[in-house]
Amino acid sequence: MDSENDGVQPLRRAVGGKPMDYASSGVDIDAEGRAVESLIGALGSSVRAPGQKGAPVPLPGGFGGIVEFGDSRLALATDGVGSKLQLATQTGRLEGVGIDCIAMNVNDL
């Protein structure tokens, strides 16, 4: 086994030789993109103009955001618990979801 695939081949064998990627796990990245665009369109009229308190500062990417507050700026980012919530619901074990939601958002920048 060459060093480039050292970690990949055992993992593929462990899941029946199937490739592991977002699409095969049921995640539709294109649908997520459409949902985000729809949300941006729906909320667009509520965005404050540049220079106003609470106005967003344009940034590349999408990981976090910055909001203007006069001479100051506030950086914001949020995250979710993702597929863990689905697993917790299916197994009926929801006790860890709340703390994970907090853990994914506290000091996330």
Contact criterion met (CB below 8 Å) for 81 and 97: yes
Domain boundaries of the chain, sorted by first residue: 1-46, 49-76, 78-109
Tokens 């649908």 locate to 31
pLDDT (0 to 100) of residue 16: 65
C-alpha to C-alpha distance for 97 and 100, rounded to whole angstroms: 5
User: For residue 58, what is the DSSP state?
Assistant: P
Tokens 């203007």 correspond to 68
* Phi, psi torsion values for 18, nearest 5 degrees: -80, 140
The predicted-structure confidence for 58-68, as pLDDT tens digits, reads as follows: 777 767 788 88
Q: What is the pLDDT, as a whole number, of residue 1?
A: 45
pLDDT in tens, 23-41: 777 888 899 889 888 888 7
- The pair of three-digit structure tokens given for residue 100, joined into one six-digit string: 């994970």
Q: What is the pTM of this model?
A: 0.41
Both tokens of 81, joined, read 């618990």
